[in-house]
Structure 1
């Protein structure tokens, strides 16, 4: 698929997503738009997909392991909440969250230069637990288990974003920019170096790829995406406590990448949809929805080892050959 076609498809999807919360009945289209809660869930999906994109960059493209993405989301969320409550503009807090998590990602990437696979997973797991303990116990700055309340949503050029549709469009715009940036990275020499690092680090090094540099860069960029997702998460929910940033959510981010399709560009969006949107659609089954959700996820993991995007790609290729 050509670059122009890809960009046109992406622009079309962006327009469709932008119109989802809008009532179109006034122009003769029988679509009343999403209500407030539906718009909130869609915004949460975008924020979650951004964090999953960071995991996909580290795991799917660079071939490393991480169980710390929820910790980076938490760092971005707490930093944004604390600074904006102190009067710092959201733009500065967002940039600070990206920069801080980028730097921490570089530091966390150093163990990846010496240990691999499950050993590296334990290193990132320890970091995740450390961050959660800080969020939970340092009440003087994080609020502890009581959390931080009344996190204000930002204003854009003097226009308040407290309205749920406006804030959704704001998050959609940022998500579109960050998605384009990652698309560019994946198609750039950086992306090819990440793929070489994933397939065979020794061969990549023999071909002139700076393994140390690209390993640290993958961790730094992936962690920064988590920090930026956290910076958007804080004003979305307007209240944060340590529970969304524990080990369980980090495992969920890894699950999103695997289910969606590790190393595929659309995988994080599909995986985030399974994790965020699917449980909401299954709530009609009341007490059984969690059981149904768990069974569906296990079946997808067992039957589609390449993820949903990988399965869709195989089916499309078979149809083209036929």
Structure 2
């Protein structure tokens, strides 16, 4: 059996191992299908780790939002997010081919390392990028090797040529999307679950959990930057009324249903009356 046959066998075994999931442990997804999948299991206290939607397969609630997380690590510049209270879900263990892609397929000798970053057709990976000459991301300004390390194919690459792990995609995306990265660090952009306190422990969602880096536009796969459709409201138990009857009602609060302009007019009239009845101020000064 030659070297290429051994490589193909290794890839096949990894694929089979990655797909060996029993029916009762069918994964559901936290944010974007295919990028943030979790496999339900029982926590030590007997509570399910997640509850999945029977309709869409999305996670409805977490038994433990920190289950399976790891510290996010330091970022630049340092801040409150680097004090061990920021955790993320590692992705490398979910990428079945990652351990062998730098050995079986991209081992430094076969195929030969690329000489430059100019776009060219790809014989492989067409399931990820159907047409490598028309890469959607960057509108033609970037190509695969602007993000993927040219010699360490199980790594990403920064602007200095240093490698970035797949568990830290925010460091890669920040190369071009600096303002969005700052908003993400400050909690303006993106999603977090966990404690409400500003210094509390939170599970952060990294860029690729919500955005598909290979399909940023809405093509046939519709898996790019589209807004995630929210789950419908939970069904109320039989006989329990909803809260619609409580909306727009006066619950004893003064002027609860009075428009703001009417309330301000009434307040000014009250001040004028006080000034005219000897409070020591001229009512004309209130006009």
TM-score, normalising length: structure 2: 0.25
Bigger helix share: 1
TM-score, normalising length: structure 1: 0.23
Bigger strand share: 2
Q: Name which one, 1 or 2, has greater alpha-carbon Rg.
A: 2
